[in-house]
């Protein structure tokens, strides 16, 4: 035989069988994940990482191995001096081919099962709360911890942060990739910036679960406070909060939820990035009549400036911390005292505890150590009898305070109540008083309503933890400020005295 030209199949080398098996199982996984992705409706940037980065990577490796096997075969044929013309034909008479066929079939069987199993597992994992909160542990720790203390602890992160649909899918892919890089390069900002600008409008997230026209009526809220005196004297305020909403029986829009339901529309321009200072508000009523409220001492916003954002007031302008609420130390102390986790028998505990919680710390370890030793030192020095006799109560107080600190303060991320305003009230942050401030007025000189009865009735108040001992009235009582500050609370915002420096 002189003819050196032999037609040979490309499947003579075992590597081609291995490559093809990997290629096929990667392809199968990709199709499967793509199908789940399309049908699930919920998008997630990290999940896409598995589908669109890891799976194609497997496919590429398979294909690469296959090409490598061709190159090896061509080279060795050349070395043997053979002139080859490889093709993809099936050649059952070739024993090498038959061996590789079995290798290919067996390996594909094993790989398809293994790759699909681990691939779908990885895919599910990226969708989970644990992945969002723990993979980027330090970055997301503040949001993750507070999330678990919230009413939404069972609502997956993606339900509020991404939601269904194509545009936000793409946006979140881009954002997710940027976040991955920022985490890898350690270049993220501390604290993470807020407000979240590409957060989906509330209509598409919150309102998927909470029907805005729902009538909530009135809600009774009891707050127990403790003073900064030796006895940690209690003070209770019981409020009937007029949440309101759309009343299906009367057809009226009422109370606090009046702002954004039906055809009501409130818009505002914020003067600062965190939307805490508002000097311009526009109200568009059901019949299209418009009222503008403006602060007479401030220049009106520059509407020719393209960066001026007229924002439509929606759920998240009040409920901006539905899932990541960082308690102020005074609020945390009051709560722990009212539930008995900290004993009111410990003299000045409200004041000393607050100071320890509110101090500046670099790390969590430093803070925990300072709280532990600080409290013990205080009682050893100031109240030696108490220190000797109530060791247990002091230990309990330390435990409760560490809990408050570790659940609400994240020094490594510079994140706590001081940078995470809560807009749902007007006590710790301006919240409602950003607009209901008595300054902004319309053309007729009227201000946005701000008398104390507009939003809630005080039905009970006074110096006791036991509401039965206090004056009560369902018709509403005139507010009494616990400390004698004259009529200052009528003229000033609460936050002018209750400041972050003071623990609120």
Integer Cα distance of 287 and 461 in angstroms: 41
- 126-155: which residues touch ligand HEC (CB under 6 A)? 129, 132-133, 140, 143-144, 147, 151-152, 155
Nearest approach in angstroms of CB 156 to ligand HEC is 7
Integer Cα distance of 502 and 499 in angstroms: 5
Within 10 Å of residue 315's Cβ, how many Cβ atoms? 19
Which position among 77, 243, 346, 477 is part of the footprint of ligand HEC (CB under 6 A)? Answer: 243
Nearest approach in angstroms of CB 321 to ligand HEC is 7
Nearest approach in angstroms of CB 408 to ligand HEC is 12
Segment interacting with ligand HEC (CB under 6 A) among 41-49, 88-96, 159-167, 467-475? 159-167
Q: Is 207 in the site for ligand HEC (CB under 6 A)?
A: yes
Nearer to ligand HEC, 403 or 446 (CB): 446
Q: Is 480 in the site for ligand HEC (CB under 6 A)?
A: no
Nearest approach in angstroms of CB 14 to ligand HEC is 47
How far is the CA of 40 from the CAs of 46, 152, 154, in angstroms?
15, 21, 19
- 269-288: which residues touch ligand HEC (CB under 6 A)? 278, 281, 283
Which position among 121, 449, 469, 471 is part of the footprint of ligand HEC (CB under 6 A)? Answer: 449
What are the CB-based long-range contacts (under 8 Å, 24+) for 255-262? 255/216, 255/218, 255/455, 256/318, 256/455, 257/212, 257/216, 259/313, 260/212, 260/312, 260/313, 260/314, 260/315, 261/212, 261/213, 262/213, 262/286
Nearer to ligand HEC, 131 or 379 (CB): 131
Nearest approach in angstroms of CB 224 to ligand HEC is 9
Q: Is 159 in the site for ligand HEC (CB under 6 A)?
A: yes
Angle, vertex CA 122, rays to CA 117 and CA 126, nearest 5: 150
Nearer to ligand HEC, 12 or 161 (CB): 161
Nearest approach in angstroms of CB 206 to ligand HEC is 3
* 124: Cβ contacts below 8 Å, ≥ 6 apart: none
- 387-426: which residues touch ligand HEC (CB under 6 A)? 420, 424-426
What is the maximum alpha-carbon separation in the chain? 117
Which position among 308, 454, 469, 473 is part of the footprint of ligand HEC (CB under 6 A)? Answer: 454
Nearest approach in angstroms of CB 117 to ligand HEC is 26
Tokens of 427: 């006590």
Nearest approach in angstroms of CB 252 to ligand HEC is 9
Q: Is 223 in the site for ligand HEC (CB under 6 A)?
A: yes
Nearest Cα residue to 436 out of 418, 421, 456, 419: 456
- 251-270: which residues touch ligand HEC (CB under 6 A)? 254-260, 266, 268
Q: Is 456 in the site for ligand HEC (CB under 6 A)?
A: yes
**Residues 309/288, Cβ–Cβ less than 8 Å:** no
**Residues 261/314, Cβ–Cβ less than 8 Å:** no
Nearest Cα residue to 354 out of 332, 335, 370, 373: 332
Q: Is 164 in the site for ligand HEC (CB under 6 A)?
A: no
Nearer to ligand HEC, 71 or 479 (CB): 479
Which position among 15, 48, 316, 457 is part of the footprint of ligand HEC (CB under 6 A)? Answer: 316
Nearest Cα residue to 433 out of 423, 418, 443, 445: 423
- Number of residues interacting with ligand HEC: please give it, by CB under 6 A: 95
Nearer to ligand HEC, 73 or 228 (CB): 228
Q: Is 320 in the site for ligand HEC (CB under 6 A)?
A: yes
Residue 60-99 contact track with ligand HEC, rule CB under 6 A, x = bound: ----------------------------------------
Whose tokens are 């038959």? That residue is: 98
Assess whether the previous peptide bond of 195 is cis (omega < 30° from 0): yes
**Residues 284/290, Cβ–Cβ less than 8 Å:** yes
Which position among 66, 131, 313, 361 is part of the footprint of ligand HEC (CB under 6 A)? Answer: 313
Integer Cα distance of 425 and 466 in angstroms: 24
- 349-378: which residues touch ligand HEC (CB under 6 A)? none
Q: Is 498 in the site for ligand HEC (CB under 6 A)?
A: yes
Nearest Cα residue to 142 out of 355, 360, 366, 414: 414
């Amino acid at each position: 035989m002189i003819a050196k030209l032999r037609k040979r199949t490309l499947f003579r080398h075992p590597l081609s069988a291995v490559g093809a098996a990997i290629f096929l199982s990667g392809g199968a996984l990709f199709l499967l994940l793509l199908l789940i992705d399309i049908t699930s409706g919920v998008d997630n940037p990290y999940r896409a990482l598995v589908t669109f980065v890891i799976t194609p990577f497997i496919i590429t490796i398979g294909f690469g191995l296959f090409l490598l096997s061709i190159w090896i075969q061509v080279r060795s044929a050349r070395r043997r001096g053979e002139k080859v013309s490889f093709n993809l034909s099936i050649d059952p008479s070739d024993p090498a081919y038959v061996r590789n066929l079995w290798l290919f079939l067996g390996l594909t069987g094993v790989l398809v099962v293994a790759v699909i199993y681990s691939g779908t597992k990885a895919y599910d994992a990226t969708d989970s709360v644990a992945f969002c909160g723990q993979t980027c542990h330090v970055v997301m720790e503040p949001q993750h911890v507070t999330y678990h203390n919230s009413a939404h602890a069972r609502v997956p992160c993606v339900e509020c942060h991404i939601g269904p649909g194509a545009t936000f899918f793409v946006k979140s892919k881009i954002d997710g990739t940027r976040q991955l890089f920022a985490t890898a390069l350690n270049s993220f900002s501390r604290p993470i910036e807020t407000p979240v600008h590409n957060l989906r409008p509330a209509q598409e997230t919150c309102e998927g679960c909470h029907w805005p026209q729902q009538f909530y009526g009135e809600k009774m809220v009891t707050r127990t406070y403790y003073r900064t005196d030796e006895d940690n004297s209690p003070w209770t305020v019981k409020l009937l909060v007029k949440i309101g909403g759309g009343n299906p029986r009367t057809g009226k829009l009422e109370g606090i939820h009046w702002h954004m339901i039906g055809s009501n529309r409130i818009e505002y321009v914020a003067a600062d990035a965190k939307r805490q200072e508002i000097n311009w508000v526009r109200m568009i009523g059901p019949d299209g009549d418009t009222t503008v409220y403006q602060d007479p001492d401030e220049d009106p916003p520059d509407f020719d400036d393209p960066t001026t954002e007229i924002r439509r007031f929606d759920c998240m302008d009040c409920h901006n911390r539905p899932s990541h609420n960082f308690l102020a130390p005074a609020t945390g102390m009051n709560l722990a005292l009212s539930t008995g986790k900290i004993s009111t028998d410990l003299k000045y505990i409200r004041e000393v505890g607050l100071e320890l919680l509110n101090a500046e710390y670099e790390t969590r370890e430093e803070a925990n150590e300072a709280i532990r030793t600080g409290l013990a030192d205080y009682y050893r020095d100031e109240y030696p009898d108490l220190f000797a006799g109530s060791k247990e109560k002091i230990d309990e107080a330390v435990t409760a305070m560490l809990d408050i600190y570790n659940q609400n303060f994240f020094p490594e991320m510079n994140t706590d109540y001081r940078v995470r305003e809560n807009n749902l009230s007007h006590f710790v942050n301006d919240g409602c008083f950003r607009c209901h401030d008595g300054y902004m007025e319309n053309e007729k000189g009227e201000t946005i309503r701000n008398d104390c009865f507009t939003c809630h009735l005080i039905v009970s108040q006074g110096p006791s933890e036991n509401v039965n001992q206090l004056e009560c009235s369902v018709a509403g009582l005139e507010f009494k400020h616990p400390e004698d500050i004259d009529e200052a609370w009528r003229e000033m915002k609460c936050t002018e005295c209750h400041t972050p420096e003071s623990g609120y």
